[in-house]
Amino acid sequence: MDAVESQPSAPASIYTVSSISRPSSCSPVPPAEPPSALPAGIPVSPLFEVRQTRTAGRAVFATQDIPKDTFIWRSDDLTLSVLLREYRREVCGHCFGYEYGRDLAIRDQDVGFAFCSKACLYTWRDWNGEIGVQAWTAVEKLTKNRAKEDNEMVDEDLARPRGREIRKAWASVEAQAALIRTAREAEMDNTIQVTKQHRKAMSRALQAPITPDVMSFCVSGLLFYYTHPSDWENILALAEDQTPYHSTEDLDAFTRAYLHLLAILPLPLLPLATASNVLILSSRDSHNSFGIRSLEDEGSEFFGYGCWPAASYFNHSCGPNVEKRREGQVWEFRAGRDIEKGDELCITYLSGEERKLSRGKRMLRLRKTWGFECACERCDIAL
Ligand SMILES: C[S@@+](CC[C@H](N)C(=O)[O-])C[C@H]1O[C@@H](n2cnc3c(N)ncnc32)[C@H](O)[C@@H]1O
């Protein structure tokens, strides 16, 4: 029994996908809801269905017995990703390949990424497109020559900003954002008057401290929207975190990154660079991203993180029955043991070392990082 199966069964859910997740010959019953009611980007398979639970949001349940080692799911739907700046020379910007800390052979100084092969470099360029390359080049130009200004250590004990503080922070930069936007729009419309006030707003933004990884997060997310507009729904459908910022400083880093980006992004990206879109990215990524770690040493090196929406429907258990493994940019999920029809399919959100922690420490980690009280079987039994 896994994370949420111990809870009383959920009421009929609008998320039930059994009708399309089973072969039609096994499913004489009409669908509970038309497929249009399914969240965008949800994983669909004859092996499982996604259902609403009473206390742990949506979760994945086996629709048939699944023998150990069965291949269950493959998520190749990477949306946004962040490679921490300190790993940019060692980890491939496209496939996240790593050569035990060696600098990779191919570096694209303009965009600030390294690649393990020319194929990865070309694919990365192809995926990002001309506008994407221009965006990363502008960010790199701004970031490269600045001293390291961000505070890399996240103090988990700081109070997380709540709704009112978050709304206030975003509202407080809107006037400056509007001035910068107008100044940028004047670059393609000479009827727009740019005054001293516009220029001041722009230079104030550019001189503000930079938090490179926050900036990368925003660029990656906004570029995803630009290059895959119809898949933005997949991000919107993810569980939302109402308190996605670790601290007031973290929230400030996001509002500053927003102003920076307004000042430097290629013009076609400006309509998407809105406070509301950056907030959507923060609130959806927060509880749904997967760590991008080294594939050896139980993933001891943390290179960054990314968001694969379909993979985000698996809940956590401290004794998971599904094992996940990253192959390049793709996550693969296999049955870690024999699973019975009706069992919840759970992965673990903990890294190798964290899995060995005591129940109390695991729960604390899950509460602080993911914001939930773990009620999986392993934690329940240990009570
Ligand atoms: C990646 S999402 C998993 C899918 C999510 N339940 C949904 O509805 O989209 C992670 C969130 O699911 C919930 N969750 C996952 N595992 C849980 C568990 N063992 N106990 C309680 N809540 C859990 C938490 O709210 C967590 O922040």
Average pLDDT rounded to a whole number, residues 52-79 = 96
Q: How far is the CA of 99 from the centre of ligand 1 (A)?
A: 33
- Predicted ipTM? 0.99
pLDDT at 157: 72
- Residues 6 or more apart whose Cβ sits within 8 Å of residue 331: 74, 75, 290, 308, 311, 324, 325
Residue 325 pLDDT: 96
Token digits of residue 315: 């809940």
Indicate which atom in ligand 1 lies nearest the CA of residue 58.
Answer: 8
Q: Is any ligand 1 atom within 6 A of the Cβ of residue 378? A: no
| Strand ranges (E), the chain | 48-52, 58-62, 71-75, 81-83, 106-108, 113-115, 290-293, 302-306, 315-316, 322-327, 330-335, 344-347
Nearest atom of ligand 1 to the alpha carbon of 317 = 19
Provide the pLDDT for residue 281.
98
- What is residue 53's DSSP assignment? -
Phi, psi for residue 290 in degrees, rounded to 5:
-110, 135
Residue 6: pLDDT above 50? no
- pLDDT tens digits, one per residue of 238-297: 999 999 999 999 999 999 999 999 999 999 999 999 999 999 999 999 999 999 999 987
pTM, whole model, 2 decimals?
Answer: 0.88
Q: Which atom of ligand 1 is nearest to the CA of 287?
A: 27
Measure the CA–CA gap between 197 and 204, rounded to whole angstroms: 11
- The alpha carbon of 207 and the centre of ligand 1 are apart by a number of angstroms equal to 39
- Hey, what are 38's tokens? 């399914």
Query: What is the reported pLDDT for 132?
Result: 98
DSSP three-state, residue 66? strand
Question: Higher model confidence: residue 371 or residue 70?
Answer: 70
pLDDT of residue 134: 98
Q: Mutate which of 17, 236, 243, 316 to test ligand 1's pocket (most atoms within 8 Å of Cβ)?
A: 316
Please state the atom number of ligand 1 nearest to the C-alpha of residue 316: 16
- For 322, the 3-state DSSP assignment is strand
Q: Residue 133 and residue 148: Cα distance in Å, rounded?
A: 23
**pLDDT (0 to 100) of residue 21:** 27
Predicted pLDDT of residue 1: 30
Calculate how far, in angstroms, residue 56's C-alpha sits from the geometric centre of ligand 1.
5
Q: Is the pLDDT of residue 332 over 50?
A: yes
Nearest to 35 by CA among 47, 21, 46: 21
Whether 372 is in the pocket of ligand 1, judged by its Cβ within 6 Å, is yes
The average pLDDT across 77-96 equals 97
pLDDT band at 148 (very low <50, low <70, confident <90, very high): low
pLDDT at 152 over 90: no
CB 308 within 8 A of CB 84: no
Burial 321-343 (b: 16+ CB within 10 A, else e): bbbbebeebebbbebbeebeeeb
Check residue 28 and give its pLDDT: 36
Assign 35 a pLDDT band (cuts: 50, 70, 90): very low
Say how many Å lie between the CA of residue 315 and the centre of ligand 1. Answer: 5
Instruction: Confirm or reject: Cβ of 57 under 6 Å from ligand 1.
Output: yes
pLDDT the model gives residue 378: 85
- Is the pLDDT at 382 greater than 60? The verdict is no
Q: How many CB atoms lie within 10 A of CB 91?
A: 26
